[in-house]
Amino acid sequence: MSFVCLWNPAWQTDGDFPAEKSEQKSKIRPELAAVLLACAPHVAVGERGVLWVDARGFSAGEQLALAGTALVLLGNRGITGTRAALADTPIAAELAARTGHGNAEQEKEGAVAIVAPGTDRAFVALFPIDVLNPPQRLEPLLFSIGVATCGELAVLEHEAIEVRLGAEGVALWRLARADDRRSESLFPPAQRALPHASLDWVEYALKDPMRLLFVINSLIENVCSALIENGSGAREITIEFSLTDRTTHLQPLRSARPTANRSTWIRLARTALDKIALVAAVTGVGVRATRVTGQESKQGDLFDRGFVSAQATEDAVARLVEDQGDVVVVPENSAHPLLDVRTKWKNEDREWKTENRKPKTENQIPHLQLQLSPSPQLISVETAPRRDHFVPARYRDAGGWHEIVQAAGPDRVSGGQCDSIRTYAREYFRCVTNDGALVWLFRDAQEKTGGWYLHGWWD
């Protein structure tokens, strides 16, 4: 049972209200609805002089107690004689509340009528068709085809109703079958709040980045704990700084993949805190997960080819970054046209690091970084024709199919004809997927089958 309907003989239907009382009617029921919010998450004012209480998510006993509490609250406001009913659908609950049917205890003061789960259609079928307030135009048509009860209307076929009675008849036919479309729109869908944590202070203001980082670390730990409990990971976490000039500064942190790893987010927060320049001192900090998805099982590329070492790898990388700094190796490039061939990585020289590191500048413009896969991943691709070539329309990897909304290319690279072993010919495409990811795909024109590969992504 999901719906509690409350009806009182003093609450007339909209059509029955005299014109001079319409203003009074519009004030009374919203005021009573506000009273009922003390016992229910959602309350709505109905179309025909009824009040609705959301009972979704409650057990059967809790639903009955909820309806009883609503009657008590109305009684405390001097509203007596109110009837309450419980049912799976709004139409069954409304009819049970108006007629007092549903169980033998309804005549008692404060009793609640209950329509047994799964019997809504049989319950509605017992009533005359007039209880559904059919449009006046349909009354002679219903009489002419011999329909006097909801059950007689419900057994007819949809096509016959649509041809004889039109759209209004179809709506009436659905109500007679207890197929009440208000079930989807009466109350908003329940939404889970995204993990968040905050801390405010008024006695002082902070500008020291290290003291701010201490607060942020604690808040990130709370958010990551909530993500782990939900079995999810965040692609983006936003830090909100409340400033002394009554403004706020939002600083988004983005991860290459969904994660709830505390060390990863703290490292990103530390990097962001080194770059931002706040215009005033801080009186409060909030951390909120703004993009949350399910955890992905990723391959641990550093240590093995299995699927169980992703978390251990992430922890190990975080420790390396803590010990060695934010750069562990540096690229050394040759003139080879293929990016994955011309770039070699070497251990970072501390002297080179000191001499060549670019000085930090304020308000640095963020930019995307190309992340290359250790080796191109073979993928399945569906293509679409475009003049003299084909572009990728969607691709499938270990995570399933990904729709491509935009593809730029091809960028053709070929060479090595003098060495048959190292001959290459590729067509590269920069693609944007429907979830906002920017990926780098290429087709190997050297292969007879023209295999497609995922070479990297930007984040």
Tell me the mean pLDDT in the region 438-455. Answer: 81
pLDDT for 106 equals 44
pLDDT for 192 equals 67
Residue type, 114: I
pLDDT for 20 equals 37
Q: Tokens 């905050």 correspond to what residue?
A: 198
Q: Which two tokens stand for residue 336?
A: 């080879």
Other beta carbons less than 10 A from residue 260's beta carbon: 24
Please tell me whether the peptide bond between 252 and the residue prior to it is cis, using omega within 30 degrees of 0: no
Map out the domains of the chain with their CATH numbers.
Answer: 3-185 (no CATH), 196-294 (3.30.1490.100), 370-458 (no CATH)
Tell me the mean pLDDT in the region 193-212. Answer: 81
pLDDT for 84 equals 83
CA atoms of 330 and 127, how far apart (whole Å):
80
Tell me the mean pLDDT in the region 417-432. Answer: 76
CA 51 to centroid of chain Cα atoms: 29
Q: Which two tokens stand for residue 196?
A: 């968040």
For residue 204, the SS3 value is coil
Is the CB of residue 240 less than 8 Å from the CB of residue 248?
Answer: yes
pLDDT for 286 equals 92
Burial of 415 (0-12, 13-18, 19+ CB in 10 A): middle
CA atoms of 5 and 93, how far apart (whole Å):
6
Query: Model confidence over 25-47: pLDDT tens digits?
Result: 444 566 667 767 766 667 777 67
Is the CB of residue 433 less than 8 Å from the CB of residue 412?
Answer: no
CA atoms of 428 and 412, how far apart (whole Å):
6
Q: What is the 3-state secondary structure (H, E, C) of 278-326?
A: CCCCEEEEEEEEEEEEECCCCCCCCCCCCCCCHHHHHHHHHHHHHHHCC
CA atoms of 2 and 236, how far apart (whole Å):
35
Burial of 279 (0-12, 13-18, 19+ CB in 10 A): exposed
Tell me the CA distances in angstroms from 361 to 277, 288, 405, one per residue in order.
10, 27, 36
For residue 420, the SS3 value is coil
Query: Model confidence over 134-189: pLDDT tens digits?
Result: 888 888 888 888 888 888 888 888 888 888 888 888 888 888 888 877 776 677 66
Query: Model confidence over 367-383: pLDDT tens digits?
Result: 777 888 878 888 888 88
86 forms bridges with which residues in the sheet?
4, 114
pLDDT for 135 equals 85
Helix (H) or strand (E) holding 376: strand 370-386
Is the CB of residue 390 less than 8 Å from the CB of residue 383?
Answer: yes
Tell me the CA distances in angstroms from 365 to 276, 277, 281, 331, 458, one per residue in order.
11, 13, 23, 22, 16
CA atoms of 251 and 262, how far apart (whole Å):
17
CA atoms of 177 and 120, how far apart (whole Å):
8
pLDDT for 14 equals 45
